[in-house]
Structure 1
Amino acid sequence: MIGVLVTFAQTDKYDRSTLAKIAGELRGPFEGMAGLRFKSFMLDEDGGQAKNFYVWDDEDKARAFFTEELVEKVTGIYGVPPKIEYFDIVGFVDNAGI
């Protein structure tokens, strides 16, 4: 498994309700997406960074998803280009079935 952290940092604070609306509008295409186990839309404590975290089954699918076109699209949505970081997930706890 691979984790991907996508960070959008700006000098102004993000509005929580605006980000919640974005999350609601964008969640549909991710539901049932092949190879994607998990995606979250997040806002840091001080509101200066919006972050999206993905868990993918394999690295090839993760890297194939983040195309130049996608980066341009999300830059338009969030107002700044993202920083994309990849992480090797060496352990995972899933309590969804409990």
Structure 2
Amino acid sequence: MIGVLVTFTQTEKYDRSALAKIAGELRGPFEGMAGLRLKSFMLDEDGVRARNFYVWDDEDKARSFFTDELVDKVAGIYGVRPQIEYLDIVGIVDNSGT
């Protein structure tokens, strides 16, 4: 498994309700996406960083998803280009089934 942390950093605080609206509007295409286990939309405590975290089954699928075209598209949505970090998941606890 591989995790991908996508960070959008602004100088001004993000509006939480605007980010929640974005999350709701963008949720659909990710539901049932092949190879994607989890995607979360997050806002840091200071409000200047919106972060999206993905858990993928396969590194190739994760890396092929984040094309230059996609990065340009999300930069338009969030107002800044994101920083993308690929993380090797060495263990996970999933309590969603309990």
Once the two structures are TM-superposed, the CA of residue 79 in structure 1 deviates from its matched residue by 0.2
Normalised TM-score (structure 2): 0.99
Once the two structures are TM-superposed, the CA of residue 84 in structure 1 deviates from its matched residue by 0.1
Q: Does 1:76 align with 2:79?
A: no
Superposed CA RMSD in Å reads 0.3
1:31-42 map, 5 Å: 31-42=31-42
Mapped to 2, the partners of 1:23 and 1:64 lie a distance apart of: 22
Identity of aligned residues (%): 83
Residue 4 of structure 2 aligns to which amino acid in structure 1? V
Once the two structures are TM-superposed, the CA of residue 31 in structure 1 deviates from its matched residue by 0.2
Residue 36 of structure 1 aligns to which amino acid in structure 2? L
Once the two structures are TM-superposed, the CA of residue 82 in structure 1 deviates from its matched residue by 0.3
The number of equivalent residue pairs is: 98
Normalised TM-score (structure 1): 0.99
Q: Which runs of 5+ in 2 are unaligned?
A: none
Mapped to 2, the partners of 1:23 and 1:92 lie a distance apart of: 24
Residue 84 of structure 2 aligns to which amino acid in structure 1? I
